[in-house]
Amino acid sequence: MEALADQEELLRNDAQRQQQLAGIAASLEAFRERLQHGLAKATFEQRWQLVLLFVHRVVVTGDEVEIHYVVPISLASEHVRFCPLRKDYFDHPPAWQRLKALLLG
């Protein structure tokens, strides 16, 4: 009886994880569609600014360079600014808002 209860709990947890993953996948697809639409209207400078906004950290070790980037996985996380290590992180919020409005709608 206990084995069946354990198996039921595992299946319940697995179903929850699958629901969460399906939600993340749907959110990423919606983000991709909005981004694709916005990029069609974006200038080179706006596209470059978008790339910089997604870069979270750059690690240089000798001759090697690692670029860590961030992709939002929910509508709420689209409102979080990235690049916390950039010196101008908080200096230009109006530019960020204009770029976000253009590219993400």
pLDDT in tens, 31-86: 888 888 888 888 888 888 777 777 777 888 888 888 888 777 766 666 555 544 44
Which whole number is the average pLDDT over 77-101? 54
pLDDT of 16 above 70: yes
Q: Which two tokens stand for residue 44?
A: 């080179």
Q: Can you give the C-alpha Rg of the chain in angstroms?
A: 19
> Would you say the pTM of this structure is higher than 0.85?
no
pLDDT over 80 at 91, yes or no: no
Q: State the pLDDT at residue 83.
A: 47
**Mean per-residue pLDDT, 20-27:** 87
Among 21, 30, 44, smallest CA distance to 99 is for 44
Domain ranges of the chain: 2-104
Q: In sequence order, which residues have a C-beta less than 8 Å from that of residue 86 and are 6 or more positions away? A: 52
Q: H/E/C letters for each residue in the chain? A: CHHHHHHHHHHHHHHHHHHHHHHHHHHHHHHHHHHHHHHHHCCHHHHHHHHHHHEEEEEEECCEEEEEECCCCCCHHHHCCCCCCCCCCCCCHHHHHHHHHHHHC
Predicted pLDDT at 57: 79
